[in-house]
Amino acid sequence: MKSGQSIETLKVSRRSLLFAGAAAGVAATLASVAAAADPVAAEAPAGEIRAFRANIPEAALADLRRRLAATRWPDGETVRDRSQGVQPERLKALVDEWQSSYDWRKAEQRLNAFPQFVTGIDGVDIHFIHVRSRHENALPLIMTHGWPGSVFELIDVIGPLTDPTAHGGTAGDAFHLVIPSIPGFGFSGKPMEKGWNPQRIAAAWDTLMKRLGYTSYVSQGGDWSAIISDALGRQAPEGLLGIHVNRVERATTFPPDAAQALMSGAPVPDSLSPDEKVIFAEARDFLANGFGYAAIMGTRPETIGYGLADSPVGLAAWLYDKIADWVFTRGDPEQALGRQAILDNITLYWLTNTGPSSGRIYWENVAGGAKLEPVKVPVAVTVFPGEVYRPPRHWLARAYPQLIYYNAAEKGGHFAAWEEPQLFAGEVRAAFRTLRS
């Protein structure tokens, strides 16, 4: 690159290049690229919205392939099922494709097909996709990913939501769509101070929507983005019309006697119906056998972070394990999502070195304490059959006193937008229909 080449030519800011960098093995490459960028453009004024394009240095991709080739694999498991974690044959097949034939540039092209931006909010650069609908009176919607996902979870619903007439809907279903990367995830900045819990992220999202000129809007989320949407709903900033979630918090919705039994280890209460006892049993199984990842990141995110930053296979196993656990096709995420999509998501974590930083949201949430007060705005809920927790409608009254929509979908899991984009888009349209002016 010529020394006089500007940041506009690079299509990416100095900070964005740093976000896109690989680990220490390619630090020199990133430093040389960043040094050639315009230092004035790199220090953008507070509140400015800058155009962004993903453009990972080739050296970072070569470093990834080198690390994959040098993997030291663990000994085989002592069971023939998934009870000890990710099975070697599945992970080795994934890594073999990652090393030999996977093409990150195609993933970049998918991202760069949409308008992307970065803006500083509360001291952290926020990366986001922003697609305005061509339809008049479209409803502004901020929609967020979760962990172990990214903006790749939501790409396939952009078309159906912003241009519904091309995807089986009507012009009256259209949305202006904003899809941010959570701080510490993807191309967003990594907070350098504690306190970036869901409440603070929710406040940042309100700032973002108003900075984009939206005086009224709705919010949607599953996983962490459901928790962020709940936090927005409790804050109820002026202009927030309502929220839609496809993941519900147990702490705010479990019946008190069942919650006490769940935490104490007591038998399931007789007050629960047969269907509710199934939900109770699933919750107990999850806490006993599927919650270890959250306990680690909620207490020691830095400790697990060393391995996630240094080993791409370690990172892949950590993320793949929960993707496999939570898709509708339990244990078979390739069937639900396809290997290419799984690798796009994992590679984004690797190239931005956000395996460690993304885990801190668990620690921040624990440190911030439980927020159990009801949501103050209208709420819509879709329960997908492959979700980890599937509460019945009447369990939601305490958390969501203004429940305007509830539906149990026929298929789809925890990653509903990723697994079933058309079905998911239909749910979002239905959820907010009564809130349109």
- Would you call 394 a catalytic residue per the annotation? no
pLDDT in tens, 200-258: 999 999 999 999 999 999 999 999 999 999 999 999 999 999 999 999 999 999 999 99
Q: Which residues of 94-115 are buried (b: 16+ CB within 10 A; e: fewer)?
A: bbeebbeebebeebbebbeebe
Under the banding of pLDDT at 50, 70 and 90, the label for residue 371 is confident
362 is catalytic: yes
For the segment 287-304, the average pLDDT, to the nearest whole number, is 96
Contact 182, 149 (CB under 8 A): no
| Catalytic entry in 223, 321, 325, 344 | 223
Report which of 341, 365, 406, 344 is spatially closest to residue 225, judged by C-alpha positions. Answer: 365
Q: What is the pLDDT of residues 296-323, one digit of tens each?
A: 999 999 999 999 999 999 999 999 999 9
Sequence-distant (6+) residues with CB within 8 A of 185 are 145, 147, 150, 354, 357, 358
Mean pLDDT of the chain: 90
- Pick from 277, 290, 350, 415: nearest CA to 60: 350
pTM of the complete model beyond 0.75: yes
Among 217, 362, 400, 405, the active-site one is 362
What is the model's pLDDT at position 386? 97
pLDDT tens, 117-150?
999 999 999 999 999 999 999 999 999 999 999 9
Which residue do the tokens 């304490």 mark? 369
pLDDT bin (cut points 50, 70, 90) of residue 47 is confident
Are 141 and 408 spatial neighbours (Cβ–Cβ below 8 Å)? no
Neighbours of 199 (CB within 10 A): 21
- The answer to whether residue 81 is catalytic is no
Q: In this structure, is the dihedral angle defined by the CA atoms of residues 319, 297, 82 and 259, taken in order, positive or negative? A: negative
pLDDT digits (tens, 9 = 90+) for 162-200: 999 999 999 999 999 999 999 999 999 999 999 999 999
**Percentage of the chain exceeding pLDDT 90:** 87
Greater confidence (25 vs 69) lies with 69
